[in-house]
Amino acid sequence: MPSTAAKKSPRVPVRSGRPAPELVFGDLWTFDPAPETADPKLKPRYDLFIDGAFVAPKSGRYFDSINPGNEQKLAEIALAGREDVDAAFAAAQRAFDSTWRRLPGRERGKYLFRIARLLQDRAREFAVAETLDGGKPIKEARDFDVPMAAAHFFYHAGWADKLEYVAPGRRLEPLGVVGQVIPWNFPLLMLAWKLAPALAAGNTVVLKPAETTSITCLKLAEILQDAELPPGVVNFVAGAGETGAALVGHPTPAKIAFTGSTEVGKHIQRSLAGTGKKLTLELGGKAANIVFDDAPLDQAVEGIVNGIFFNQGHVCCAGSRLLVHEPVADAVLAKLKQRIRVLSVGDPMDKNTDIGAINSAAQLHRIGELVASGRKEGAEMYQPPCRLPAKGFYFRPTVFSGVSMSHRIAREEIFGPVLSVLTFRTVEEAVEKANNTAYGLSAGVWTDKGSRILKLSTELKAGVVWANTYNKFDPTSPFGGYKESGFGREGGRQGMLEYGQLA
Amino acid sequence: MVAPSSPPALRRLLDAIGTVDAVGVEERVAKYATRSIKKAAKVWGLRKAVSMVDLTTLEGKDTPGKVASLCQKALRPHDDSVPRVAAVCVYPSMVRHARRALGSGNGVRIASVATAFPSGQAPLRTRLAEVRAAVADGADEVDMVINRGAFLAGDFGRVQDEIAAVVTACGAAALKVILEVSELETYDNIRAASFLALRVIREGDFIKTSTGKTSLNATLGNNQVMLEAIRDHYLDTGIAVGMKPAGGIRTAKQALQFLVAVKETLGDAWLTPARYRFGASSLLNDLLRQLEKERTGAYQAPYYFSEAAESY
């Protein structure tokens, strides 16, 4: 630990007599609206994608998908009932038995490459659709979600003909039909994380998107058709909890892969007990982002902002607990507040928007409720003075200081743009506080000292530990959790192993 | 303040002012490039950038005639709708010619590089004499270079003392301290050198990235590190120092990205030629070209803007 005793504190203005100097972030130079104008090519109504074709639901029921940025209806989505789920699994089983498992890996790889390229071709269209449907800023959909989804297809396309090298001396056999359920925070990307390794390993798939974000999933079905993927290899059934329960409880799938809340994850694990189905779960998180006094503070602040406000905080690995070393706590908080003042909150379709819309009214309500609990329990709240659009679901970036481990906002996953700031005095205390949570998906460490990074990377019980950065993803890097953040890994060689059995 | 000639000088200074993470800085500044600036905001930014230009000629072949035409361009960059630039920047021997061409009291200032620009490798008294001569000839602003040799040798006391001596020699003239970032190499060094200067210069003085005479000049990254140093110093002392990126900024698009960095790091009070300048020559014509494009909807031919830097 560097000595802090003799250090002057040049970053904390303490002066008497005249007012402390302040920076003015006013409206001298406000940017004109810069709306993204590409056509998302939405259909008024999306049917289920079963056996290579769009089919109307047997129930005849549809539900609305709305734009959380302005609460307007975007499209109608077919609601899959039990019979539709049956049909999807029957198609998947047929495809597995008749074509997909017999296809050489290099041929499967070609389909995946084709999907990746078609997605790149239509990147702008998909980015706009993702933003309209989910509320994330267009610059994130454009620069992160869509390119990263394509990268996952590319990466796993490369695995398809190299499965004998996953585990030397052994072969990776497909499991059969896989049932997958994905969340609403990264609809297209989570779909790619699930679909690409499953197909590369030779499995066929029935996948359910989240009910608030089905559109890019069903748009991807158009790409699967264009890629001439054999019918039934991938099937999409849309709907809410009931559809999910029908999918998870179905006798056909050899494996269930779920990304979503810990509550539902536990329920799924209970329901699968004794069935012999494989299961991987990627659940919630309450990650610690730990800033030591020797950290490069401006870059740490940038990482803190990226860690909690990326995708409105709808990120399971969000750095929602900031643990900051006491000697620099005031300086970090002051810099953080300054940085947040220049974040632009509002219309997700504006290219300059940093923080877009909360995904749904229900989620907005939950965030509001947890924030109210933080204020009630005595934490100090800061929100920048920004104007929010009148229509749509928006929440100001929020920082709570003076938070202790017993506060609800320090323990429960908020899944919104809300940061809880705690302090620590020693490395041991930092590790203990970081690990004192039911979750263990990710963590961040900010320090100039390399040895401390290595030490913490082993002591922090988290699936990913980022050092002097945050929220970095790559298809080659396995992602997954400890404890109630789930089990199983996605990405990399480890992720491939989850979609097959070694023979 | 800083002990002279001891190897851990950098370490000690960084302990006091904090370090910089290169990857993080570059990630931060990449976001400036994604800002989409349209319509009225674009015109405002372009006009502001014009008013911040230090129109520069620093060549061995400069003549009174060349300087006179540079001054003419500075006073009237295009037509009456476009503001004057902030200053012309010339070698000391050209200051009196610039003064003759510009007259006085018309808002365009005369800046002169001094202190054995660009290397600074002359005895201190020679460098100070050069500063005094430039001021006596009519320079409103002096652009000095720091002693990079002393900095890299860890002799921070000497670097800072020399800057302080130049401050005195400047008298009423404003000072711009050139760090020559490409020779300092690391962001840590750039932050350290910024603070060495900030602690001895005055409100209204500037720190500046480069001479324009080396391979790498102003980038969004080193601009950011210096803006953050200015911000920290201001919040700590209340002394507001200006910033001048120089060299390598050739397009209007780049200039707007630098201005976004100013807006989001130092705020509105720095969006003024009194606190932010562009050291550039070819930038001005691209700003004019883009302003004409915004006004007329079409790009005009190069000769419309007295394009070649040689023939203002």
Q: List pLDDT tens digits, range A81-90.
A: 999 999 999 9
Mean pLDDT, residues A379-400 taken together:
96
Same domain, A217 and A326: no
Q: Pick the residue of B222, B236, B259 with the most A CBs within 10 A to test the interface with A by mutation.
A: B236
User: What Cα–Cα distance (Å) separates residue A337 from each residue in A322, B18, B26, B44, B184?
Assistant: 14, 19, 21, 27, 31
The chain A residue lying nearest B262, using CA atoms, is A25
At residue A231, what are phi and psi to the nearest 5 degrees?
Answer: -55, 140
Please say whether the dihedral angle defined by the alpha carbons of residues A167, A168, A174 and A175, taken in this order, is positive or negative. negative
Q: What is the CATH number of the domain that holds B106?
A: 3.20.20.70
A62 sits in which H/E element? strand A62-67
Q: Does B30 touch chain A (CB under 8 A)?
A: no
**Domain assignment of residue B127, yes or no:** yes
**Domain assignment of residue B1, yes or no:** no
The per-residue pLDDT for A139 is 97
The per-residue pLDDT for B310 is 52
Q: List pLDDT tens digits, range A97-129.
A: 999 999 999 999 999 999 999 999 999 999 999
The chain A residue lying nearest B18, using CA atoms, is A296
Burial of B138: CB neighbours in 10 Å, binned 0-12, 13-18, 19+: middle
Same domain, A168 and A114: yes
User: Cβ separation of A23 and B266 shorter than 8 Å?
Assistant: yes
**Domain assignment of residue A358, yes or no:** yes
The per-residue pLDDT for A47 is 98
**Domain assignment of residue A478, yes or no:** no
Whether the pLDDT of residue B311 is over 60: the answer is: no
Q: Does B38 touch chain A (CB under 8 A)?
A: yes
Question: What Rg do the C-alpha atoms of chain B give, in angstroms?
Answer: 19
Same domain, A106 and A247: yes
User: What Cα–Cα distance (Å) separates residue A149 from each residue in A128, A492, B50, B288?
Assistant: 15, 14, 42, 41
Nearest in space to B184 (alpha carbons), one of B210, B219, B223, B213: B210
Q: Does A362 touch chain B (CB under 8 A)?
A: no
Whether the pLDDT of residue B106 is over 90: the answer is: no
Catalytic residue, from B143, B155, B188, B286: name it: B143
Same domain, A391 and A433: yes
How far the first Cα of chain A sits from its last, in Å, is 50
Whether residue B245 has a cis bond before it, omega within 30° of 0? no
Q: Does B199 touch chain A (CB under 8 A)?
A: no
Of B45, B234, B238, the CB nearest to A29: B45
The chain B residue lying nearest A34, using CA atoms, is B36
The per-residue pLDDT for A450 is 96
- Residues of chain B with Cβ-Cβ distance to A22 below 8 Å are 235
The per-residue pLDDT for B308 is 53
Same domain, A101 and A178: yes
Same domain, A444 and A487: no
Query: Domain total for chain A?
Result: 2
Q: Mean of the per-residue pLDDT values for chain B?
A: 94
Mean pLDDT, residues A253-276 taken together:
96
**Domain assignment of residue B2, yes or no:** no
Q: Does B274 touch chain A (CB under 8 A)?
A: no
Same domain, A382 and A444: yes
Angle between helices B252-265 and B220-237 (to 10 degrees): 30
**Domain assignment of residue B167, yes or no:** yes
The per-residue pLDDT for A17 is 64
Nearest in space to B195 (alpha carbons), one of B207, B210, B183: B207
Sheet with B87-90, edge to edge strand ranges:
B242-244, B206-208, B174-178, B141-145, B109-113, B87-90, B53-56, B278-280
The per-residue pLDDT for A491 is 96
Sheet with A288-291, edge to edge strand ranges:
A380-382, A398-401, A418-424, A321-325, A288-291, A442-446, A464-467
The per-residue pLDDT for A391 is 96
Report the predicted TM-score, pTM, of the whole model to 2 decimal places.
0.94
Whether the pLDDT of residue A5 is over 80: the answer is: no
Q: Can you give the three-state secondary structure of A411-461, one letter per residue?
A: HCCCCCCEEEEEEECCHHHHHHHHHCCCCCCEEEEECCCHHHHHHHHHHCC
- Residues of chain B with Cβ-Cβ distance to A294 below 8 Å are 19
* pLDDT above 90: percentage of residues in chain A: 94
The per-residue pLDDT for B302 is 81
Q: List pLDDT tens digits, range B147-177.
A: 999 999 999 999 999 999 999 999 999 999 9
- Residues of chain A with Cβ-Cβ distance to B228 below 8 Å are 298
Residue-number span of the structural domain to which B207 is assigned = 9-296
Q: List pLDDT tens digits, range B173-205.
A: 999 999 999 999 999 999 999 999 999 999 999
Same domain, A346 and A259: no
**Domain assignment of residue B247, yes or no:** yes
A353 vs B266: CA distance, rounded Å: 20
Picking from A387-391, A401-405, B7-11, B75-79, which range would have the lowest pLDDT averaged per residue? B7-11
Structure-block tokens of residue A487: 């089990």
A306 vs A304: CA distance, rounded Å: 5
The chain B residue lying nearest A28, using CA atoms, is B268
User: What Cα–Cα distance (Å) separates residue A138 from each residue in A145, A153, A347, A348, B71?
Assistant: 10, 22, 9, 6, 45
Whether the pLDDT of residue A223 is over 70: the answer is: yes
Same domain, A304 and A349: yes
Residue-number span of the structural domain to which A450 is assigned = 288-467
The per-residue pLDDT for A3 is 40
**Domain assignment of residue A9, yes or no:** no
Same domain, A233 and A350: no
* Single-letter code of the amino acid located at A48: L
Q: Name, in order, each residue with C-beta under 8 angstroms of A275's C-beta and a sequence gap of 6 or more.
A: none
**Domain assignment of residue B307, yes or no:** no
**Domain assignment of residue B139, yes or no:** yes
Q: Does B236 touch chain A (CB under 8 A)?
A: yes
Q: Quote the minimal CA–CA distance from A162 to chain B in Å.
A: 34
Q: Does B263 touch chain A (CB under 8 A)?
A: yes
Q: Quote the minimal CA–CA distance from A470 to chain B in Å.
A: 10
Strands A321-325 and B109-113, by their bridges, are unpaired
Nearest in space to B262 (alpha carbons), one of A364, A23, A300, A325: A23
The per-residue pLDDT for B297 is 93
Q: What is the CATH number of the domain that holds A312?
A: 3.40.309.10
Same domain, A57 and A147: yes
Please say whether the dihedral angle defined by the alpha carbons of residues A135, A136, A139 and A145, taken in this order, is positive or negative. negative
Q: What is the CATH number of the domain that holds A193?
A: 3.40.605.10
Same domain, A255 and A355: no
A197 vs A156: CA distance, rounded Å: 6
Structure-block tokens of residue A154: 């590319």
On the CB side of A321, CA atoms within 13 Å amount to 32
**Domain assignment of residue A316, yes or no:** yes
**Domain assignment of residue A477, yes or no:** no
Whether the pLDDT of residue A397 is over 50: the answer is: yes
B42 vs A365: CA distance, rounded Å: 38
**Domain assignment of residue A210, yes or no:** yes
**Domain assignment of residue A51, yes or no:** yes
Query: Domain total for chain B?
Result: 1
Mean pLDDT, residues A244-262 taken together:
97
The per-residue pLDDT for A342 is 95
Tell me how long chain A is: 503
**Domain assignment of residue A14, yes or no:** no
User: Cβ separation of A303 and B23 shorter than 8 Å?
Assistant: no
**Domain assignment of residue B160, yes or no:** yes
